[in-house]
Amino acid sequence: MDEVKALVNGLANKHGRTRESLLPILQGVVDKMRYLSSEAMTEVARELDLSAAQVFGTATFYSFLDTQPRGKYVIRICKTISCDMHGKRDVLQTIEEILKIRIGETTSNRKFTLLETNCLGWCHKAPAMLINDEPYTELNADKVRDIINEYIRK
Amino acid sequence: MNEKTLKRVDIIFTPEKNYNEVLERTFRRPNSDILNDILDSGLRGRGGAGFPTGMKWKYTADQESENKYVICNADEGEPGTFKDRQILTQVPYKVFSGMAICAKIVGAKEGYIYLRGEYKYLQAEIEEELNIFHQTLDKLKFHFRIYLRMGSGAYICGEESALFESMEGKRGEPRNKPPYPTVSGFRGQPTVINNVETLVYAMMICDMGPEQFKELGSKDSRGSKVFSVSGDTPIAGIYELELGMHLENFVEDFGDGDTKAVQVGGASGFCVPRKKFSDTIIGFEGVPTGGSMKLFNSSRSMYHVLQNYLEFFEEESCGQCTPCRVGCQQLLKGIEAVKKGKKNSAYLDRLIRLATTMKYASKCGLGQSVGNSFVSIVTNFREEMIY
């Protein structure tokens, strides 16, 4: 709790305490914690003098502002048409096999969360995915196995 | 590959190292001269809607306000579009320069780039480049600052008024129009909001003059455009081509020899089937596009394509207005029911009526354009929807 408090306080000092600061602050919390806990959202509401409902309502609008607990590495695999046409299913299946989780789930050690997302803007190098902010493109089963294994070792 | 029929253009991605000279030259000219050049060039917005850029700037310049804003819309979310990222990566100073020139004309002191969350890996780099750019502006004694704001994974925030809402720290729900951004945009102030590519063309028109730009393209679609080419093509990528080209020529250059349809303008655009390639022009007089050109060959199910688009819209609809929120759900459920045989084929006609209603009744461009892909795919590939 104190950690969250300090984080939110620091972000408010950096971005300001107006309504306009809300998104950058929420983004900052997600950067550090990978998701917005109710404690974090309540704390943001207190810092910015907003109602918790306003913070929650804003956060839940944005698909990258997760309000569910997420792993340290959030994998978002693109499900839009080009990636779908170019072997996204193989890539997804490989990740599911390695991590033993399905879409929407988090590994029991809280290290990985697997999600689908809409067009990432890499259609010419499909299929693509993000791990946190980092894009990975032109994936296939072998390539994604190497990438995920590298993250497992981290 | 055979010899290419389409002329390749090189304006957007030419080296940008002389950008400060262009700024210096342009800053010395009277605003009305610059504005006339932009108007004369015929430049229209490259994000998809195609509003004349010079008019947008003029309307904003005509407003009386101490606080005006220039916003670069880099929330490139349309499926199949990926050119803005490349522009921001390769020639960022051209984008910033376009914003600064616009700021001079309209009288803005602050500018913002709204970058989609999916491109967050570029954030640090752009911020660093902005610092350098600000030093250039200081040397030229021009008082203007550009700030970077990040999106967080919401397609609708590419809609200009939703983008303002998002920048103001709210849910990205589109506003009613009018008032238009030129009168009341970000923070309720007069605002120019342009696509990344539009800003670069504006800057390049200041560099090379409107004549060279005007020579390219057609009467209604002056100049060139950056296209994002993907799908069933051996040469997917980013290409700058003249507007007003025939789709047939495009397919000759980019197709894999078996192209059965091209989706022009992404999920919110139009699907053109093979039999219409020869009489389809890519431009504002024909089928307009924000740049997305997606090719499908005969191995692809157009039902599957449409289903994918509708799943996209159903998720990305902001849910604010009923025609769009419920319409997207019902269109998706409807085609699935027809495919499974739970509804007969005549139900497709009811769905087309629903899509048409959405076009007129939805509040913003999202709901209004779902019908573009829906009607064009269902009409041209009806049998694939049923069997």
Question: Residue B48: which pLDDT band, with cuts at 50, 70 and 90?
Answer: confident
In this prediction, residues B8-17 reach a mean pLDDT of: 95
Residue B1 clears pLDDT 60, i.e. is over it? no
Q: A121 with A49, same domain?
A: no
- Percent of chain A at pLDDT above 90? 99
CB contacts < 8 Å between A and B, how many?
A: 118
Task: Give contacts of B121 with chain A, Cβ < 8 Å.
Answer: 133-135
Cis peptide bond N-terminal to B181, omega within 30: no
On whether residue A68 sits in a domain, the answer given is: no
A80 closest CB neighbour out of B120, B150, B308: B308
On whether residue A67 sits in a domain, the answer given is: no
Task: Give contacts of A135 with chain B, Cβ < 8 Å.
Answer: 118, 121
Q: Name the residue range of residue A18's domain.
A: 2-61
In this prediction, residues B138-162 reach a mean pLDDT of: 97
Phi, psi torsion values for B281, nearest 5 degrees: -105, 135
Please name the helix (run of DSSP H) or strand (run of DSSP E) that holds residue B296, with its range, or none. strand B292-297
Q: B163 with B67, same domain?
A: yes
Q: A78 with A112, same domain?
A: yes
| CB environment B82-108: b (16+ within 10 A), e (fewer) | bbbbbbbeebbbbbbbbbbbbbbbbbb
> What contacts B34, CB < 8 A, 6 or more positions away?
B26, B101, B104, B105, B206
- Look at strands B224-231 and B237-242 and give their pairing: antiparallel
Structure-block tokens of residue A154: 């981290």
Cis peptide bond N-terminal to B179, omega within 30: yes
At B84-111, the pLDDT tens digits run: 999 999 999 999 999 999 999 999 999 9
Q: Does B169 touch chain A (CB under 8 A)?
A: yes
pLDDT at B49: 87
Q: At B72, which amino acid appears?
A: C
A122 closest CB neighbour out of B82, B166, B229: B82
Task: Compute the distance between CA of residue B169 and CA of residue A22 in angstroms, rounded to an integer.
Answer: 5
Top residue of A60, A70, A81, A133 to mutate, by most chain B CBs within 10 Å, is A81
Closest CA to A83 of A134, A132, A34, A135: A135
In this prediction, residues B237-262 reach a mean pLDDT of: 96
Statement: the pTM of the whole predicted model exceeds 0.95:
yes
pLDDT at A152: 97
In this prediction, residues A85-91 reach a mean pLDDT of: 97
Chain A: give the shortest CA distance to residue B302, in Å: 11
Residue where one domain finishes, among candidates B214, B243, B266: B214
Q: B174 with B311, same domain?
A: no
Question: Residue A9: which pLDDT band, with cuts at 50, 70 and 90?
Answer: very high
Contact B275, B44 (CB under 8 A): no
Please name the helix (run of DSSP H) or strand (run of DSSP E) that holds residue B331, with its range, or none. helix B322-339
A121 closest CB neighbour out of B76, B172, B309: B76
> Which residues face A33 on adjacent strands?
none
Closest CA to B103 of B150, B49, B142: B142
At A89-128, the pLDDT tens digits run: 999 999 999 999 999 999 999 999 999 999 999 999 999 9
Sheet holding A112-117, edge to edge: A112-117, A73-78, A129-131, A134-136
Residue A38 clears pLDDT 50, i.e. is over it? yes
In this prediction, residues A14-25 reach a mean pLDDT of: 97
Q: Name the residue range of residue B330's domain.
A: 302-385
Q: A79 with A121, same domain?
A: yes
Question: Residue A2: which pLDDT band, with cuts at 50, 70 and 90?
Answer: confident
- Percent of chain A at pLDDT above 70? 99
Task: Give contacts of B293 with chain A, Cβ < 8 Å.
Answer: none
Residue B3 clears pLDDT 90, i.e. is over it? no
**What's the gap between Cα B223 and its chain centre?**
16
Contact B365, B175 (CB under 8 A): no
Q: Does A131 touch chain B (CB under 8 A)?
A: no
Q: Does A117 touch chain B (CB under 8 A)?
A: yes
State the total domains in chain A. 2
Q: A54 with A91, same domain?
A: no
Question: Residue B113: which pLDDT band, with cuts at 50, 70 and 90?
Answer: very high
Please name the helix (run of DSSP H) or strand (run of DSSP E) that holds residue B164, with its range, or none. helix B160-167
Task: Compute the distance between CA of residue A46 and CA of residue B263 in angstroms, rounded to an integer.
Answer: 48
On whether residue B295 sits in a domain, the answer given is: no
Q: A7 with A42, same domain?
A: yes
In this prediction, residues A78-95 reach a mean pLDDT of: 97
In this prediction, residues A138-145 reach a mean pLDDT of: 98
Q: What torsion, rounded to 10 degrees, do the Cα atoms B303, B267, B246, A85 define?
A: -50
What's the angle, vertex CA B158, arms to CA B153 and CA B164, rounded to 5? 100
Q: A56 with A21, same domain?
A: yes
In this prediction, residues B290-300 reach a mean pLDDT of: 97
Three-class secondary structure assignment of B211-273: HHHHCCECCCCECEEEEEEEECCCCCEEEEEECCEEHHHHHHHHCCCCEEEEEECHHHCEEEE
User: What secondary structure does DSSP assign to B133-152, as a single string?
Assistant: HHHHHHHTT---EEEEEE--
Residue B305 clears pLDDT 80, i.e. is over it? yes
Q: Does A98 touch chain B (CB under 8 A)?
A: no
**ipTM of predicted complex:** 0.97
**CATH code where residue B92 lies:** 3.40.50.11540
pLDDT at B44: 97
At B313-353, the pLDDT tens digits run: 999 999 999 999 999 999 999 999 999 999 999 999 999 99
Q: At A37, which amino acid appears?
A: S
Q: Which residue of B has its CA nearest to A22?
A: B169
On whether residue B58 sits in a domain, the answer given is: yes
Please name the helix (run of DSSP H) or strand (run of DSSP E) that holds residue B282, with its range, or none. strand B281-282
pLDDT at B6: 87
Task: Give contacts of B153 with chain A, Cβ < 8 Å.
Answer: 62-65, 117-118
Mean pLDDT across chain B, nearest whole number? 96
Residue B298 clears pLDDT 90, i.e. is over it? yes
Residue where one domain finishes, among candidates A31, A61, A91: A61
At A49-61, the pLDDT tens digits run: 999 999 999 999 9
Residue where one domain finishes, among candidates B196, B214, B232: B214
pLDDT at A1: 59
pLDDT at B39: 97
**CATH code where residue A85 lies:** 3.40.30.10
State the total domains in chain B. 2
Q: At B230, which amino acid appears?
A: S
Residue where one domain finishes, among candidates B152, B181, B214: B214
Between residues B87 and B47, the one the model is more confident about:
B87
Hunting for tokens 């306080």 — which residue is that?
A: A9
